[in-house]
């Protein structure tokens, strides 16, 4: 996230001929070649224990064994690049955090202006889907767990972590451990890798299970530090969308209207799946409220809800209470 904006909104192992080493995290067992190979074959997230030696690198924040990002544009010919430019999606260029993109893995997804924020990239080779998340630096384990559970319900076989700019490496100490804890808590068997910038404030791209960068042309020329979007902009923010559902989807009729509105936005089919799944879960509770015909029945539902549910469904409960009172008067 760009710092000036932060108050604007309330491995696989790398193998060489001579050695093996694990990704940028500590492992709980001794690093003999045999044990390292066992860990890599099992791809078990539970083998990862902690991040080591997080520090300011040449361009971005680095940690032990983090790998430099490869240049996305150097992987393909011009014809293929033109095709990918038309096909892909980018988040905003202003560095707003809490933004995400999801699609089939052969659709490039990008974000930029990652300053004190970090990027989480999840890929599932079995479903050929991937998710790119630009995370605010204060995001905690619970928020990452919510994202993994609800936005990548199919699970993931590969996870890539990228801390942002070198000047803010101390803030990345806050984010990366929380991100790692959430990945471990997911129960997935997957490879985890960590990367760092190869140029100044690049555009970050997820494509076919790998994380790349595109050189920020304005920054490279010394013109500005503004982000860039090489693909179509689709500015999706997790909290905004979830908040919209929680606040507006207070009756089954409004939930139906919400589905139509999301469909009209022409989001990627994978994004529509996420939003509809969130609406499905929300609708189940709303229906539970709407079948109440007496104050006693409504009171029983209220008592069954936890504090978070009472907050989320306060409007739905209020609407149903008024309906019940109106029936008694008539």
pLDDT tens sequence across 231-243: 999 999 999 999 9
Percent of all residues in the chain with a pLDDT value above 70, rounded to a whole number: 82
When pLDDT is cut at 50, 70 and 90, the band that residue 20 belongs to is very low
pLDDT at 51: 82
pLDDT at 44: 57
Quick check: 220 pLDDT over 80? no
* Calpha distance 294→25 (Å, rounded): 56
Asked if 109 and 149 touch (Cβ cutoff 8 Å), the reply is no
Contact partners, residue 132, CB within 8 Å, separation at least 6: 91, 100, 101, 102, 109, 110, 111, 119, 120, 121, 204, 206
pLDDT at 309: 93
Chain CA centroid to CA 299, Å: 37
Quick check: 21 pLDDT over 90? no
This prediction has a pTM of: 0.83
| Mean pLDDT estimate for the chain | 84
pLDDT at 258: 95
* Calpha distance 61→196 (Å, rounded): 6
* Calpha distance 183→190 (Å, rounded): 9
pLDDT tens sequence across 54-99: 899 999 999 887 899 999 999 999 999 999 999 999 998 887 899 9
Mean pLDDT of 267-280: 96
């Amino acid at each position: 996230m760009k710092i000036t904006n932060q108050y604007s909104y309330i491995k696989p192992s790398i193998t060489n001929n001579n050695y093996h080493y694990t990704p940028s995290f500590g492992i709980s067992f001794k690093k003999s070649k045999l044990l390292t190979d066992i860990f890599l074959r099992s791809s078990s997230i539970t083998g990862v224990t902690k991040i080591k030696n997080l520090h300011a690198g040449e361009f971005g924040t680095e940690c032990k064994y983090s790998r430099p990002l490869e240049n996305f544009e150097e992987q393909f010919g011009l014809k293929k690049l033109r095709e990918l430019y038309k096909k892909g999606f980018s988040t905003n260029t202003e560095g707003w955090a809490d933004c995400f993109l999801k699609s089939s893995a052969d659709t490039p997804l990008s974000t930029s202006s990652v300053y004190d924020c970090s990027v989480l990239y999840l890929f599932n080779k079995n479903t050929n889907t991937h998710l790119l998340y630009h995370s605010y630096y204060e995001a905690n384990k619970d928020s990452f767990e919510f994202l993994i559970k609800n936005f990548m319900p199919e699970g993931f076989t590969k996870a890539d972590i990228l801390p942002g700019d070198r000047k803010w490496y101390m803030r990345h100490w806050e984010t990366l451990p929380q991100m790692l804890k959430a990945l471990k808590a997911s129960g997935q068997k997957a490879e985890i890798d960590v990367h760092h910038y190869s140029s100044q404030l690049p555009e970050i791209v997820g494509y076919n299970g790998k994380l790349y960068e595109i050189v920020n042309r304005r920054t490279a020329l010394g013109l500005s530090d503004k982000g860039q979007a090489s693909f179509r902009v689709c500015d999706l923010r997790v909290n905004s969308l979830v908040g919209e559902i929680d606040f507006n989807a207070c009756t089954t009729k409004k939930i139906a209207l919400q589905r139509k509105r999301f469909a009209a936005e022409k989001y990627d089919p994978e994004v529509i799946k996420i939003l509809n799944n969130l609406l499905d879960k929300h609708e189940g509770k709303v229906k539970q409220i709407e079948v109440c015909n007496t104050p006693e029945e409504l009171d029983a539902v209220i008592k069954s809800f936890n504090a978070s549910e009472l907050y989320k469904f306060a409007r739905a409960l209020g609407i149903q209470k008024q309906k019940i009172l109106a029936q008694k008067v008539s």
